[in-house]
Structure 1
Amino acid sequence: MGSGKIRVGILGAGGWAKYGHIPALKALDQFEIVAVSNRKKETAEETAKQFQIKHAFWDEQSLISHPDVDLVAVVAPAPEHARLVRQAIAAGKDVYSEWPLTTSTAESEELLSLAEAKGVRHIVGLQRRMGPSARYTRDLIEQGYVGKIRGVHMTVSADAFVPDMPGRYSWAFDAANFSNVLSIYAAHFGDMLFRSVGFPKKLTAVIETQFPYFTVLETGEQIPNTNPNEVMVIGTLENSGLFSMQVEGAQKHRTGLHIDISGTEGVLRVTNVLAFQNKDDNAIEGMKGDATTFSPMPIPEKYQPLAKSGLDVSAQDMAYLYAAYASDKLNGTSEASNFRDAVRQHHMIDEIYRTSANFFG
């Protein structure tokens, strides 16, 4: 790191890399994107040219082993994460993996062990917990705004994973590839929520496949769907209180995000009109004491140093995650979400599947 910057190589040049990762990294002085890789040569070269990135590769190992790369960011589709992360760890590089870390709990546990044995820093893309509204909500709860938590209720609605999809996304049709409403949206929002209110002590769930087929838009081919479209979870929190979580995909009438956190002293409400590609951060409202209606609770400036970056909030959350990693690396701390957090999410999803199967007998 002769320049003093953390030099990043990005594996994958798709929409999320261009919308989220590249703008986020370019907004941070601590980082320099030095390489990008994509299996299609022309895509790698076009992306490098578009964003003024020095190296373009279409062989991922060339990027991983390049001496200019300090941090390997794996932004490829989920089924490729394990292989690419394993290669980065073997090369002794710090590694970021998009969530999900892998398509199975066992493989994610293996990668955690490998990373810790190698001594490399590891990051997982559970970035919603790093956003200003999420950090402020967590602090309000820790400071006793609601008192002892009694009940937590969250609903999430998104238009993702619709039954009619382009063929380029056909890899996601197979439930074994772990890319559906439960594994993506429930995991992201669940991590954000439980990071604030405490993680589940016990849960039970129902998941439902409400659209029996995927239809490939270009051909009209129908493929059986075994992925969940709707998820409902209830349970108890490890600290106190009960919780419920409902996540709905393939909803064209998007209702976004709604969270109520009630306690012995007050109530917090967190909302957003969208669940992804958010222009604005979540709105926070509170009610306590003798109040009978909610009042807005603006997020203090200290939580949002990137407010004037021009980034959409969904990309800005990525920037806060990368900034946390840079701070961890400098100070020996562990604020950025990492592979341990990923393994926790895998175990929660396993329990959701297990209890849902038992529910239906």
Structure 2
Amino acid sequence: MTTQQPIRIGLIGANIHQGWSPRAHLPALAAHPDFDLAAVCTTRQESADEARAAFNAGSAWNDYNRMLADADIEAATISLRVPSHYEPTTAALRAGKHTFTEWPLGRTTEEAIEMADLARERGVKTAVGLQARANPAIAHLRNLVADGYVGRVMTCHVRLMREGVLSRDSGRTWQRDNELGAHTLTIACGHTIDALCSVVGEFADVATVVSTQASTWHESDTGQDLPVTSPDNILVSGNLQSGGVGSVQIGSTPWAGSGYRMEIYGEEGTLVAVSVDSPQMQQVTIRGARGGSNELQDLTPAEELHLAPEIPGGTAYNVGQLYSRFAASIRGTANGDALPDFDHAVELHRFIDAIRQSSDEGQRVAVA
């Protein structure tokens, strides 16, 4: 938070009736003192006007190119379905706007590389929506490991098992297509493994299974049974660059999931984090033991790790945390260096490519 003038930002994908924006970006920006929600844009003027009124935005647009031509707008957020990220993101970069795009950055790694290269060429700041690593509890775990709480990390594991509804309306069944880039491997696994790596460091290699267990979804409003090519279960094991070993299990199950759990075991201690869902969505409880004790004790994130203001609805808070880091990056102040930018997104895209390659080839693969 700052006494400087707020950064004027425009949000592309501001429909208040569906998607991620009304749950996360719109409330986060409306509450954030570092930003002025200067503009909102949807494909229809009526829905843009609704978003403007609901979140007190400065202006409403039905054409993002016209919105981006406004010289008073300094930054842009792109919160759309993954296949639609590329065009408005490149338009924002070419317009010289600092740009925040949701994860996955692109439908493919090639798209992500092109956007990261363009951002570097234009000299603008970028952010990608990997907000799990901005969760105060995950940031606290990262600091604890870096400060030697567990000593050398020997082994770690993270698991996220979610309810995966097999009956969906036609507005959600598009995610069944693997080629569109929005599924359990890219989204749930991407967020979860990125948070793990932010704490324990990167993987050196992986051996994986990427599987589609639910081969059909029922489309509730049309009555059709549709074929599914998107993966819904991912298993990853590998060596960390630091010398330890790690494993990951991500699953979308037909019925009740068991939530999220991260475990880190070192030569001098243990850390455990649990939540009802991914730390991208929810706050996390952390516990630890060290110094010869086998009893886990509650640990509380340091107050300075809470960068965002209180935001109505728990889902928006960690997105607000990223916006705090985005503002710091734009202004060149402290906390900006910890922001996941487009170059970081490319690295994660490549990691996911390695996970898929290992599964396809049935062999261990080095992580670039």
Q: Which residue of 2 aligns with 1:326?
A: 327
2:85 to 66, 81, 87: 81
Q: Give the TM-score, by structure 2 length.
A: 0.92
Is contact 1:164–1:214 with CA below 8 Å preserved after alignment? yes
Which residue of 112, 121, 127 corresponds with 1:123? 127
2:11 aligns with 10
Deviation at 1:223, TM superposition (A): 1.6
Alignment of 1:307-318 (within 5 A): 309-318=310-319
* Aligned position for 2:185: 182
Question: Residues 194 and 348 of structure 2 are in contact (CA less than 8 Å); yes or no, is this contact kept in structure 1?
Answer: yes
Match of 2:366 in 1: none
Distance 2:39 2:115 in 1: 24
Distance 2:271 2:8 in 1: 40
> Where do residues 1-361 of structure 1 align in structure 2 (5 Å cutoff)?
4-13=5-14, 14-160=18-164, 162-275=165-278, 278=281, 281-306=283-308, 309-331=310-332, 333-359=336-362
2: CA distance between counterparts of 1:312 and 1:95?
24
Distance in 2, Cα, partners of 1:278 & 1:331: 28
Q: What is the deviation of 1:278?
A: 4.7
Shift of 1:174: 1.4
Measure the CA separation in 2 of the matches of 1:259 and 1:134: 10
Amino acid at match of 2:259: G
Larger displacement relative to structure 2 (144-153 or 169-178): 169-178
Alpha-carbon distance, 1:168 to partner: 1.1
Identify which range, 177-186 or 249-258, moves more after superposition: 249-258
Out of 26-35 and 245-254, give the one that drifted further.
245-254
Residue pair 2:89, 2:101 contacting (<8 A) in 1 also: yes
Q: Tell me the C-alpha RMSD between the 2 structures.
A: 1.7
1:167 deviates by 0.4
Counterpart-to-counterpart distance in 1, 2:46 and 2:31 = 26
What is the identity, as a one-letter code, of the residue corresponding to 1:45? D
Counterpart secondary structure, 1:334: helix
- SS state of the match for residue 267, structure 1? strand
Displacement of 1:287 in angstroms is: 1.1
Contact 1:71 1:93 in 2 (8 A): yes
Separation in 2, partners of 1:311, 1:154: 28
User: Residue by residue, what CA displacement relative to the aligned partner does 1:109-151 show, whole Å, maximum 9, x if unpaired?
Assistant: 1111111011111111011111110110000000000000000
Runs of 5+ consecutive residues of structure 2 not aligned to the other structure: 364-368
Secondary structure at 1:192 match in 2: helix
Question: Cα deviations across residues 170-224 of structure 1 (Å, max 9, x unaligned)?
Answer: 3322111111011001001111110110011001110111111122110111221
Report the alpha carbon displacement of residue 316 of structure 1 after superposing the two structures with TM: 1.0
Name the stretch that deviates more: 281-290 or 146-155: 281-290
Asked whether the equivalents of residues 93 and 124 of structure 2 are also in contact (C-alpha less than 8 Å), the reply is: yes
Q: Give, in angstroms, the shift of residue 232 of structure 1.
A: 0.4
- Give the TM-score normalised by the residue count of structure 1: 0.94
Local SS of the residue matching 1:19: coil
Q: Which moved more, 1:55-64 or 1:93-102?
A: 55-64
Q: Distance in 2 between matches of 1:170 and 1:290?
A: 51
Paired with 1:251 and 1:127, the residues of 2 have a C-alpha distance of 26
The answer to whether the Cα contact below 8 Å between 1:149 and 1:262 also exists between their aligned partners in 2 is yes
Count of paired positions = 355
Distance 1:193 1:9, change over 3 A: same
Shift of 1:335: 2.1
Look up the SS of the partner of 2:329 in the other structure. Answer: helix
Larger displacement relative to structure 2 (309-318 or 198-207)? 309-318
Q: Which runs of 4+ in 1 moved over 4 A?
A: 276-279
Amino acid at match of 2:13: G
8 A contact 2:52–2:60 mirrored in 1: yes
Q: Which amino acid aligns with 1:151?
A: T
Quote the offset at 1:310 in angstroms. 4.3
Shift in Å, 1:276: 6.7
Give, in angstroms, the shift of residue 44 of structure 1.
1.2
CA distance in 2, matches of 1:78, 1:54: 26
Q: Distance in 1 between matches of 2:349 and 2:281?
A: 26
Q: Note the C-alpha offset of 1:46.
A: 1.0
> For 1:320-344, what per-residue CA distance to the aligned partner results, in whole angstroms no more than 9, with x for missing partners?
1111111122226532110111111
Cα offset, 1:354, TM superposition: 0.7
